[in-house]
Structure 1
Amino acid sequence: MKSTNFFKKHTLVYGASLLLVSTQFACSKTDTKETASTTTTTTTKTSDEAYDDYKNYVTQMETDVNSGWDSTATDWDTRMEAARTDYDTRYNAVNQYAGDFDDTRRAEYEELQSRWNTAWTTREQQYNTWKQTNQSGGKAMTKVDMSSMDVKKIPSYTATNIRTAYEDFVAHVEANKANYTNDDWKAVDMYWAQLDDRKNAIQSQLSDKDKWEITKAKTKYQTMKAGSKTGNAASSVGSEVKETGKDISNSKVGEATKDAGKAVGNTAKKAGQKIGDVVKDND
């Protein structure tokens, strides 16, 4: 009897222990799933949430720009970097749903992008003015942030966002062209060439409206580039011509030319006198 009771007793203990372990394991798995589910829910936005967030940010930027520049702030370098990062985050969040937009929302989305470009161009102009007059004891600060001209991101552009890439590019050139160095222009030209190559690769996927807007952006860029470089070249050529003129007027060539002119004049005068004498003698 004792032997039988001992066996039964331990069998019950083992069974209870096994049941407890199984229950704890199941609870652990359930908790893990619930935790993972909660994390996913809190970090992922729906299409409507992402769109509203993007729309509100663009509207807020317009309001800030229209309110004018806060000249009392001294951390504008950080503010500009944060503003650009915040926009890119919101743009990437909503752009993943762009292919699912209906015609009405797509039209509004395109308008929001255009509004952002306009507001951001104005903000960059305000920023550049502030740098020139409020940094380094009033000395002009002409160094341009060229981080947006990173060619590494070009292969990631698709038919849904390459138009925006063109518009952002043109906005950057328009805001900073007066401060570009020769190296900056080289970076701009390189970025432009690769951006155009990417556009050509996905040309068949673009809508007619996107093609039209990209053409407008390209025309605007070419005009700005020609104007900036022609202006610089004309100034340089003008100086060279002026200096060349000085060199000629002060050189032996100039004196020789002057002497040659006098000699021709004297020769013509003498010839005229001889002809006059001949005519007089004939009379």
Structure 2
Amino acid sequence: MNLFKKHSIVYLAAFLMAFGQIACSRTETGETAMTSDQAFEDYRSHVTAFEQDVNRGWDSTTTDANAQMEQWRTDYDTRRNAVAQYEGEFDERRRQEYEELQTRYNNAWNTREQQYNTWRQNNQSAGMSTVDMSMMDETKVSSFSSARDIREAYEAFVAHVEANKNNYTNDDWKVVENYWNELDDRKNALQSQLTDKDKWEIAKAKTKYITMKNASKAGNTAGNVGSNLKETGKDVKGGVKDAGKAVGNSAEKAGKAVGNTAEKAANKVENVIDDDKN
């Protein structure tokens, strides 16, 4: 009897442990599904709220705009990273909505950057860069570890350049080019992970950037040519003026020389007449 009770207790304990594991497994599965839904809902709500804030315009009472811009970017990255880990579980409907939300956010961010740049132009000293260059931090590039990361980085980069190309200083363009080179190197390291769609979107981003960069160089060259022509015009004008002075001086000297010669000749004639009279 004791032996039977002993075995019964062992079997009961084993059963309870197995049941507990199954229950935990089910709970974890349910929690995972809830976490995925919650992360997506949080991402959706954040994008919607950010759009609404952008539509209200720039808050002119902001005391530290640079820190605010960085905070907005950090808040978005936190929510995007939280939902990105579940991308593989998305059905087609959710995947499409996720892409739409990313596009909506990028459009809203471009508008926010324009608002920020306008604010800086009106509130900061002339000659300083009026563009928020915080996203062009080369040290962040090495953290891109997936095809999604690198593709989104290219798209965000092009969006930034397109929104700010007219306000970049020469130093800003140097930062842009350095970041671009780092991004390209990182893309090459992740080349094997890229899908055909990733490669296509990155190729489009490259084309847009090169076009904008070349247009900027052409604009700078045209400006230099205009300045050179202006300076050349000054030189020509100055040369003509100097030449006129030289001709005037030569004519004056020639006139004086002729006058002196005539005066000397008259004196000689007068002297000859006086001699004849004597």
TM superposition score normalised by structure 2? 0.67
**Inter-CA distance 150–81: structure 2 relative to 1 (3 Å threshold):** closer
Name 1:172's counterpart in structure 2.
160
Name 2:231's counterpart in structure 1.
243
CA contact (8 A) 1:131 1:140 kept: no
1:149 and 2:136 correspond: yes
Output the amino acid matched with 1:155: S
Structure 1 position 237, deviation (Å): 1.6
Name 1:226's counterpart in structure 2.
214
Q: Which moved more, 1:99-108 or 1:71-80?
A: 71-80
Name 1:217's counterpart in structure 2.
205
| CA deviation map 1:35-54 (0-9, x unaligned) | xxxxxxx9xx8222212111
Determine the C-alpha separation between the residues in 2 that align with 1:239 and 1:147: 33
Greater C-alpha radius of gyration: 2
Q: List runs of 5+ in structure 2 lacking aligned partners.
A: 1-30, 248-278
1:158-197 equivalent positions in 2, closer than 5 A: 158-197=146-185
Equivalenced residues, count: 211
CA contact (8 A) 1:54 1:90 kept: yes
Structure 1 position 249, deviation (Å): 4.5
1:1-283 equivalent positions in 2, closer than 5 A: 46-135=35-124, 142-157=129-144, 158-251=146-239
CA contact (8 A) 2:117 2:132 kept: no
SS at match of 1:179: coil
Structure 1 position 154, deviation (Å): 1.7
| CA deviation map 1:41-73 (0-9, x unaligned) | x9xx82222121111111111122223333354
Structure 1 position 176, deviation (Å): 2.5
SS at match of 2:166: helix
Q: What is the RMSD computed on CA atoms of the aligned residues?
A: 2.8
**Inter-CA distance 140–152: structure 2 relative to 1 (3 Å threshold):** closer
Structure 1 position 248, deviation (Å): 3.4
**Inter-CA distance 155–79: structure 2 relative to 1 (3 Å threshold):** closer
CA contact (8 A) 1:113 1:164 kept: no
CA contact (8 A) 2:39 2:82 kept: yes
CA contact (8 A) 1:167 1:217 kept: yes
CA contact (8 A) 2:113 2:132 kept: no
Same amino acid, percent of matched pairs: 65
Determine the C-alpha separation between the residues in 2 that align with 1:54 and 1:230: 41
Q: List runs of 5+ in structure 1 lacking aligned partners.
A: 1-41, 260-283
Output the amino acid matched with 1:179: N
Name 1:24's counterpart in structure 2.
none
**Inter-CA distance 200–51: structure 2 relative to 1 (3 Å threshold):** same
CA contact (8 A) 1:154 1:194 kept: yes
Structure 1 position 172, deviation (Å): 1.8
Determine the C-alpha separation between the residues in 1 that align with 2:140 and 2:161: 18
SS at match of 2:147: coil
CA contact (8 A) 2:70 2:134 kept: no
Determine the C-alpha separation between the residues in 2 that align with 1:206 and 1:104: 23
